[in-house]
Chain A
Amino acid sequence: MTNNNAKTARYWQTLLAGLWRENPVFRLLLGMCPTLAVTAAVKPALTMGCCVIFVLLCSNIIVSLMRNLLKPHLRILMFTLTIATFVTIADLFLKAFVPRMSEMLGPYVPLIIVNCIIICRAEVCASKNGLAVSIIDALGMGVGFTLTLCVLASIREILSTGALFEIQIIRLSSQGGWFVPWAAMSMPVGAFITLGLILGLVNKVAGRKA
């Protein structure tokens, strides 16, 4: 019974680690390229997050299943091969079912192959743990990453267009409202500023807790 409890507690811990304590973007600072590149609006950010969850889940499952067969010097090669396969599949699915998003994300979908979060989870978690822990870890990290992207993207989309999910929520000054859209927020400079400010905020909050 206690064994079971300890197991459940561990699962919860693994799941929650990705959301806050080891959040890939805010705490581990991994996957910065998509974080900066696709967060100009919420829709592409969400699509990107879902792709990462899918790839992370599949690669963690495969790596965890073959963890006892891995040769130490060939392991990175195996990880990359696994990740590349699922990224290609995700890319094909996007092209087939959401062509508009696929066009918007452009090269950033294939670039998930070199996303550090996925290779980091394969190395740190999946190649050392059983299937259940690997799956939970993938979900925790993936959802953590997606939520982070969505937070950044909502801030940037609201400030740059006054809209959220492309639905106008603040009346622009050109339409008689008070809000002057801040075009810089949809450009790279907005990504850096938003990420920097939020990182500072997160560090402040996390530092206070410790």
Chain B
Amino acid sequence: MNKIKNFMQQSWLLIVSSFCFGLLIAVTSAALSPRIRQNEINKRNRMVTVLLPEAKDFILLDEQVEIQSLQGKKEKVEIYKVMSKADECVGWSFEAAGSGFADKIKLVIALDKNFEKIAGFDVLSSNETPGFGDQIKYDYFRDQFEGAPAGELRLITVGERETKDSEIVAISGATISSEAVVEIVSNSVTQIKEQMRKKGIIGNDKQ
């Protein structure tokens, strides 16, 4: 009993203030999180507009699409239909994430309207080594995905960067980061494509 009393005497301030501070952070976070989320959406839309220059409007798809992440977890993906000024579908975009070399890599991926070619990707957030892994943000690496077939991609160490195919040339000195990006893109694109086909949102192979 005495022990508990002593413990409480010593630490009551810590317990009370932890609770108060926790509450304070929770309230601030709750108040600001819609705005922060909106900022993220704006940023993503800006990136997609660069990848699909005709993009004007982004419509969230009602159908639920769930994919198996690289860690084996089921994750819901929000898929956006990208519309042009003339209200025609010009492509699709979604977010995908996976673990990189240092931290999680979060990408936004855009595809053409038939889900056949990748229009490109951009990095929403990453924490790769400056000078090496962070080259995944550079055009010379990202341009390889532009026009690549929407399916399994493969990482190679030697090859031509200019040819647009399913082979992606790694960044020298940053194989793990390059591999992570290729896996994230490849994994999410193949699964989403398959599910969207099943649901009849995009055309079948026969068409």
Contact = CB atoms under 8 A, between A and B. Distances in A.
B32 A93 contact: yes
B106 to A, nearest CB: 13
B36 A74 contact: no
A173 B147 CA distance: 38
Given A78-B17, A96-B35, A85 B10 contact: no
Contact of A74 (B14, B28, B32, B39): B14
A92 B43 contact: no
> What's the dominant secondary structure at chain A's contact region?
helix
B18 interface: yes
B36 A81 contact: no
B21 A70 contact: no
> What's the dominant secondary structure at chain B's contact region?
helix
Given A95-B36, A96-B39, A99-B39, A85 B25 contact: yes
Contact of B13 (A71, A93, A96): A71
Interface string A36-74: 000000000000000000000000000000100111001
Interface string B94-138: 000000000000000000000000000000000100000000000
A126 B29 CA distance: 27
Most buried by A among B11, B21, B43: B21
A17 interface: no
Contact of A81 (B21, B29, B32, B43): B21
B39 A89 contact: no
B24 interface: yes
A69 B15 CA distance: 13
A115 interface: no
A77 interface: yes
A164 B66 CA distance: 48
B32 A99 contact: no
Given A85-B25, A89-B24, 16 more contacts: A66-B13, A69-B13, A71-B10, A74-B11, A81-B14, A81-B17, A81-B21, A82-B21, A92-B32, A92-B36, A96-B32, A96-B35, A96-B36, A96-B39, A99-B39, A107-B127
7 cross-chain pairs, A with B, having the tightest CB-CB distances, nearest first: A85-B21, A96-B32, A96-B35, A99-B39, A95-B36, A92-B32, A96-B36
19 contacts: A66-B13, A70-B13, A74-B13, A78-B17, A81-B18, A81-B21, A82-B17, A82-B21, A89-B24, A92-B28, A92-B29, A93-B28, A95-B32, A95-B36, A95-B39, A96-B32, A96-B35, A97-B35, A99-B39
Interface of A: 66, 69-71, 74, 77-78, 81-82, 84-85, 88-89, 92-93, 95-97, 99, 107
